[in-house]
Amino acid sequence: MTPSDSRELDRVCEEVAAALIDGGTEPPFDVASSDFATDPYLICADRYWRRRFLDRPGVRTAAECARWLAGHVAEGHRTEVREKWSLGYAFITRHTVESLGELAEATEEIVARDGSSCDTAYFVTLYHAGKLRSNFWYDELHTFLESSLPAMAVGAHREDPLFTALRSFAAFGSRAITAEHAIDLLGQAWDHPRRTRHVVDICLNGLACASPFDGNGELLLRHAEQAVAAYPGDHIFRFRLAAGQHKCAQHDAALESIDKALRLLPAIGSRVSHELLQEQYRKLRDDIQEGRLRAVWAAEQQLRWERGEAARRELEHTVRSSTVRAVELVAVFTAAIAFAVGSLQVTLNGTLPLRDRMWLLVAQGAGLAVFAALIVGGTWLITRGRHRE
């Protein structure tokens, strides 16, 4: 499909959605795929419910959407549509967060109408959790997922990887929950056999926004590399990869990844603001370039410091060696002077025979030589450790 065909399809679907809204009727057709790019029925339904959520952004609208989804979307594509709709509509209505009291009241109505069905409650839970996630309200999200009435009503869906991924997102951002617990939840969601693209997105989002902990950058980089390998055309995962590389000081690789993310970023989208994402991506690109400059400057400063340190050590060694040599020279010179003076006294003033004088001079010279040797040897022993350093 060409870009002009895509724009024409969007225009027609918007008109159909507007007509359905004006007529007060829900889409009467069924959806047999999860192709949001080319399936006209899904696109029409998507535009319709988008208008409904923007008009009345609340869990009651979410419940109505969940019921329509259960009755009109093919079962094999229901999970993909549910996750995309609940989280997408949550993002565009994130400025309207309902209180726990309003949620409890609406949940009682939902349970009374739908009975033991958990799918509606699950859609409502994902929708409200998506709002809290979009606003980065970590502690509120944690409390909502752990103890709220809607979250308790989802039944077996609490074991779904998306639900676990949202719990890990809340745990990573909260300063009241340990990083170990958040990593454990991340592993459960990431390794789940029913992991979806939205699960991957939330897991990476949690790692990217996590409170600082040891190994955060490496963990984000490793998971982002796996995500890019599984979804090579996804601009958000390229963005997360660039963030992980930036945290790990891989500046050149990070710059290449963020440039690819910018090229992959679509110029249109009903849930995603192109300008908002482009601003985020370009901000990261600027941070990466600044990081490269800081790394170059730090390397130059390190080299200068190492050279200065080497020069200082060489000078210190020279001064120390010169001092030792001076002490040795003074010892030898002192011994020589003492020998000269002593020998002169013996030679000029003595009354001993010449032979005895010669032996006396030899003994005196030997003694002074031993004295000088002791001084030189002692100096060497004292300074031997420093010489080794």
Angle in degrees, CA 141, 146, 151, rounded to 5: 85
Task: Give me the pLDDT at residue 172, please.
Answer: 96
Task: Give me the pLDDT at residue 108, please.
Answer: 83
In which domain, by residue range, is 375 found?
321-388
Q: Cβ of 193: how many Cβ atoms within 10 Å?
A: 5
CB 187 within 8 A of CB 173: no
pTM over 0.85: no
Answer yes or no: is 361 within a domain: yes
Q: What's the DSSP call for residue 174?
A: -
Question: Tokens standing for 297?
Answer: 């400057």
Residue 140: pLDDT band with limits 50, 70, 90: very high
Task: Map residue 389 onto helix, strand or coil.
Answer: coil
Is the pLDDT assigned to residue 151 strictly greater than 70? yes
CA 388 to chain centre: 44
CB 237 within 8 A of CB 227: yes
CB 147 within 8 A of CB 104: no
pLDDT-wise least confident of 203-207, 261-265, 285-289, 370-374: 370-374
Task: Give me the pLDDT at residue 271, please.
Answer: 45
Which whole number is the average pLDDT over 126-154?
Answer: 94
Contacts of 251 (CB under 8 A, 6+ apart): 245, 288, 291, 292, 295
Answer yes or no: is 353 within a domain: yes
In a 13 Å sphere around the CA of 244, the CA atoms on its Cβ side amount to 24
CA 38 to chain centre: 35
Contacts of 158 (CB under 8 A, 6+ apart): 151
Answer yes or no: is 65 within a domain: no
C-alpha–C-alpha distance, residues 262 and 335, integer Å? 83
CA 48 to chain centre: 37
Task: Give me the pLDDT at residue 303, please.
Answer: 75
Q: Cβ of 35: how many Cβ atoms within 10 Å?
A: 14
pLDDT-wise least confident of 23-27, 155-159, 194-198, 376-380: 376-380
Tell me what percent of the residues of the chain surpass a pLDDT of 90. Answer: 57
Angle in degrees, CA 203, 209, 212, rounded to 5: 110
The count of residues in the chain is 389
Task: Give me the pLDDT at residue 342, please.
Answer: 56
Task: Map residue 31 onto helix, strand or coil.
Answer: strand
- Of 328 and 221, the structure prediction assigns the larger pLDDT to 221
Answer yes or no: is 337 within a domain: yes
Report pLDDT digits (tens) over 240-288.
Answer: 999 999 999 999 999 999 999 999 987 655 445 677 888 899 999 999 9
Task: Give me the pLDDT at residue 250, please.
Answer: 92
Residue 53: pLDDT band with limits 50, 70, 90: very high
In a 13 Å sphere around the CA of 196, the CA atoms on its Cβ side amount to 16
Answer yes or no: is 375 within a domain: yes
Alpha helices in the chain (DSSP H): 3-23, 40-55, 59-72, 75-92, 100-114, 119-134, 138-147, 149-152, 161-173, 179-190, 197-208, 216-230, 235-247, 251-264, 274-349, 354-388
Residue 73, phi then psi, degrees to nearest 5: -105, 135
In a 13 Å sphere around the CA of 4, the CA atoms on its Cβ side amount to 0
- Number of domains comprising the chain: 1
Is the pLDDT assigned to residue 389 strictly greater than 60? no
Q: Transcribe 64-110 into DSSP letters.
A: HHHHHHHHHB-HHHHHHHHHHHHHHHHHHTTT-PPPHHHHHHHHHHH
Mean pLDDT over each residue of the chain, to the nearest integer: 85
Is the pLDDT assigned to residue 369 strictly greater than 90? no
C-alpha–C-alpha distance, residues 107 and 148, integer Å? 10
Q: Cβ of 127: how many Cβ atoms within 10 Å?
A: 27
* Residue where the block lists tokens 């050590």: 313
Answer yes or no: is 68 within a domain: no
Task: Give me the pLDDT at residue 308, please.
Answer: 75
Question: Tokens standing for 227?
Answer: 């995500």
- Of 162 and 269, the structure prediction assigns the larger pLDDT to 162
CB 190 within 8 A of CB 203: yes
Answer yes or no: is 34 within a domain: no
Report pLDDT digits (tens) over 84-138.
Answer: 999 999 999 999 999 888 888 888 888 788 765 688 999 999 999 999 999 999 9
Nearest Cα neighbor of 188 from 172, 208, 165 is 165
